[in-house]
Structure 1
Amino acid sequence: MAHYASENENEITTLRPKLFQHERPLHEVLGGGKVADVLLWRNKNVSAALLLGVTAIWFLFEVVEYNFVTLLCHISITTMLLLFIWSTLADILKWSGPQIPDIILQDSFFQNLASIIHRRFNHFIQTLLYISYGKDLPRFFLIVVSLYILSVIGAYFKFVNLLYIGCLCVQTLPFVYERYEQEIDNLVGDVILDLRKKYIQFEKRYLNKIPRGPVKEKKNR
């Protein structure tokens, strides 16, 4: 029994875990559709336009200090004026009028985005519950420390800034991870492996020495 436990400990302390346990390509993990193309910069024009749009919104709210309702009204007024001028000149000069392509508001894009967010959120909740039950103590302590650091950082940033940083992370981290997946997995795996070794040493030195009451065996009736 002791030899078997020793083999398990050796396996735990030598097996390098991956950051994300997936066998499929990251593009398929993210849904494999247009949303995945945007997040992984397969469609560079749309990804760049989205990044510039988010940056412009952050600039208007944080730097210019626009009010949301005021900004929304000004954008609506400007759009309506441009469409009115364009339509009027088109009637006078016999040009083709403004035609808004249907691609702008495709249902499939938002459905794929909502589906991916729903699946990722469910996976996050299941993983969080699994770790919270004490199934993976090194990762439990790592997440607790990470959340505490995030709470400290959040105290020094406004919500708009945190939201903008989150959008930047969503648009950059998947692309960076796909490009340097092996290097990132090795780095994070080494950190988790080191935490597991330290936890095993802590368990041997302290936790196993805590006195416990006798375990009563159940009688088979």
Structure 2
Amino acid sequence: MSTRSKVSTPSSGLISHQTPLHALLGGGKIADVLLWTDKVTSAAVVAGFSIVWFLFEVAEYNLLTLVCHTLIAFMLILFIWYNAAGLVTWRIPKINDIAIPESTIRYFHTKLNLFLRKFYEISTGQDLKLFFVTISGLVIVSIIGNYFTIANLLYLMFLCFVTVPVMYERYEYEVDYLASKGNQDLRRLFSTLDSKFLNKIPRGPVKEKKFM
């Protein structure tokens, strides 16, 4: 008997079954990489980040040196590509081949503004439970940061990004079951804290949000 058949399905999982995980991850190439739908691209991305981590942590490469050497390599590639295009049947490189699309800039601009808006809402203490959870999370991350370099921490986060989604997709029912039980325990804990402590903290008036 498989493990999945032994575990009862929770009443509500982490992700709605009406929305595929691929769509929740944004769809397109990014979702394909995170879910290992395109195994060649996913493996290439992991290998690329692993090489960068190796250069920083093992070979002790300097960031400025790495940037300069990377730019030199790109310049040599473009130089050979451009000047050899007339000798062989290569297409002459255009600026659009290396230019960053405007849609990409708009995407990150939108995400940054959403983050700043959410950060402001949490910081004002309108939801005290979320406020203290965020503070606790930042404290935990700061403690973890004392034991990891920034390169190791970023590499660890990257490995989580490329392994957690595909593992969740494979063991969805088991993860949902454990998450459901953990969510119930957290609700009971927050209910106790809310009744004994949070409700007694004075707060300013909550103004109605206005969105342009």
Whether the TM-score (by the shorter chain) exceeds 0.5 is yes
**3-state secondary structure, aligned to 1:36:** helix
Q: How many residues align?
A: 188
Greater CA drift, 187-196 or 99-108:
99-108
**3-state secondary structure, aligned to 2:141:** helix
Listed as ranges, the matches of 1:68-79 within 5 Å are 68-79=63-74
**3-state secondary structure, aligned to 1:133:** coil
Give the counterpart letter for 2:45 in structure 1.
Answer: L
* Residue ranges of structure 2 left out of the alignment (5+ in a row): 1-9, 201-212
* Residue ranges of structure 1 left out of the alignment (5+ in a row): 1-14, 211-221
Q: Is the 8 A contact 2:15 2:21 kept in 1?
A: no
**3-state secondary structure, aligned to 2:61:** coil
- The 1:124/1:197 distance shift into structure 2, 3 A limit, reads farther
2:183 corresponds to which of 178, 183, 192: 192
Match of 1:122 in 2: 114
Cα separation, 2, equivalents of 1:200 and 1:32: 37
Q: Is the 8 A contact 1:27 1:36 kept in 2?
A: yes
1:45 corresponds to which of 40, 59, 63: 40
Match of 1:58 in 2: 53
Q: Report the Cα offset of residue 28 of structure 1.
A: 0.9
Q: Is the 8 A contact 1:31 1:116 kept in 2?
A: no
Q: Is the 8 A contact 1:17 1:192 kept in 2?
A: no
Cα separation, 2, equivalents of 1:169 and 1:203: 32
Q: Which has the larger radius of gyration?
A: 1
Listed as ranges, the matches of 1:1-221 within 5 Å are 18-20=13-15, 23-79=18-74, 80=76, 84=80, 91=87, 96-97=89-90, 111=103, 115=107, 118=110, 122=114, 126=118, 129=121, 133-134=126-127, 137=129, 142-200=133-191, 206=196
Cα separation, 2, equivalents of 1:100 and 1:186: 53
Cα separation, 2, equivalents of 1:81 and 1:106: 16
Q: Report the Cα offset of residue 84 of structure 1.
A: 3.7
Cα separation, 1, equivalents of 2:167 and 2:120: 24
Q: Report the Cα offset of residue 41 of structure 1.
A: 1.1
Give the counterpart letter for 2:127 in structure 1.
Answer: G
- The 1:72/1:134 distance shift into structure 2, 3 A limit, reads closer
Q: CA RMSD in A?
A: 4.3
Q: Report the Cα offset of residue 65 of structure 1.
A: 1.6
Greater CA drift, 112-121 or 142-151:
112-121
**3-state secondary structure, aligned to 1:150:** helix
TM-score normalised by structure 1 residue count: 0.62
Q: Is the 8 A contact 1:39 1:170 kept in 2?
A: yes
Q: Report the Cα offset of residue 125 of structure 1.
A: 5.8
- The 1:163/1:199 distance shift into structure 2, 3 A limit, reads closer
Give the counterpart letter for 1:122 in structure 2.
Answer: L
Q: Is the 8 A contact 2:32 2:38 kept in 1?
A: yes
**3-state secondary structure, aligned to 2:148:** coil
Q: Is the 8 A contact 1:16 1:193 kept in 2?
A: no
**3-state secondary structure, aligned to 1:157:** coil
Cα separation, 2, equivalents of 1:81 and 1:120: 33
Greater CA drift, 158-167 or 125-134:
125-134
Identity, % of aligned pairs?
34
- The 1:113/1:59 distance shift into structure 2, 3 A limit, reads farther
Give the counterpart letter for 1:147 in structure 2.
Answer: L
